[in-house]
Amino acid sequence: MSAQGRRFRIDHHGLGWSAVLAAIGFTGLWLGFPRPVTAPADSPMRAGAETRESALETPSAAAALPHGVSDDWWTRTRAGIEAREYEVTESALGAQAPNRAQDLRTYFHDGGIEVVPRTGNPSRWNWRWRTHAWGREGLLTALSPAPPTVDATRVEYRHDPLTEWYRNGPDGLEQGFSLAERPAGRGPLCIEGEITANLLPALDEGGGAIDFLSADGCRVLRYDGLKVVDARGADLPSSLDLADGTI
């Protein structure tokens, strides 16, 4: 097991912090495939991501819907069932959420999350995240472990005034942070998290994504899509940093 860290930095000094970090998602799963399946660059399923068919297929002409069942009803019913596939439920190991499209399973423990393969041997790889500090650079406040609060596909860890949240869906596991008030002091706002994984992290050249690789160099997880907005919805500059041992 090796511990690696990542740090989020917001280079912004304005007023009105709210919904500070959002749209951080895991994508790019190559698990169990001899070569990656490439999606268009503008697709929500970015290059390298596996696209899987739903368990519910649209009936063909040869298998028509039963008499009295409309296409509209079938479409709405199918959408509802597919959405529930991503809901968080209780298990013997605690709150968990499967992700068919990305072949992930996430466990929401007190204080942090654990991501493993949904199918096959769950010990092939694992990825754990714990948010442990936040604040202005050089003046970080340590966070105590918080229990998860579940609402369908969304899970929150509440560290007032900071809320850490996750949303499970076909595009991956989305991670976000919402800040209810502006932190004291001046300088970049940082959120630090600790990662423990048996995967090798690699920061891309542009600093906008981190790949997590198997021992033979295959990409297993991709951490990207960082977007930061203020209380007015304006985009703010942001970056990902990767350092040994801490985020």
Q: Which residue has the tokens 């019913």?
A: 77
Question: Tell me, what DSSP letter sits at residue 235?
Answer: B
Q: Is 121 helix (H, G, I), strand (E, B) or coil?
A: coil
Q: Which residue has the tokens 């948010």?
A: 131
Interval 72-85 mean pLDDT: 69
- Please answer whether residues 238 and 231 qualify as being in contact, where contact means their C-beta atoms are separated by less than 8 angstroms: no
d(CA 174, CA 24): 5
**Residue 108 pLDDT > 90:** yes
- Please answer whether residues 175 and 105 qualify as being in contact, where contact means their C-beta atoms are separated by less than 8 angstroms: no
Interval 28-33 mean pLDDT: 23
d(CA 14, CA 12): 6
**Residue 23 pLDDT > 70:** no
d(CA 11, CA 226): 13
d(CA 244, CA 120): 30
The pLDDT of residue 37:
30
The pLDDT of residue 224:
85
**Residue 30 pLDDT > 60:** no
Q: Where are the beta strands (DSSP E) in the chain?
A: 2-10, 21-27, 89-91, 94-99, 104-109, 112-117, 127-136, 139-142, 149-151, 154-159, 162-169, 172-179, 189-197, 200-203, 209-213, 219-224, 227-228, 238-244
How many Cα neighbours within 13 Å face the side chain of 104? 35
The most confident of 3-12, 139-148, 202-211, 218-227, by mean pLDDT = 139-148
**Residue 74 pLDDT > 80:** no
**Residue 130 pLDDT > 90:** yes
Residue 92: pLDDT band (50, 70, 90) is very high
Higher pLDDT, 110 or 234: 110
Residue 133: pLDDT band (50, 70, 90) is very high
Residue 69: pLDDT band (50, 70, 90) is confident
Omega before residue 147 within 30° of 0, cis: no
**Residue 58 pLDDT > 70:** no
Give how far the C-alpha of residue 196 lies from the chain's centroid of Cα atoms, to the nearest Å.
15
The most confident of 4-13, 32-41, 156-165, 230-239, by mean pLDDT = 156-165
The pLDDT of residue 61:
44
**Residue 128 pLDDT > 90:** yes
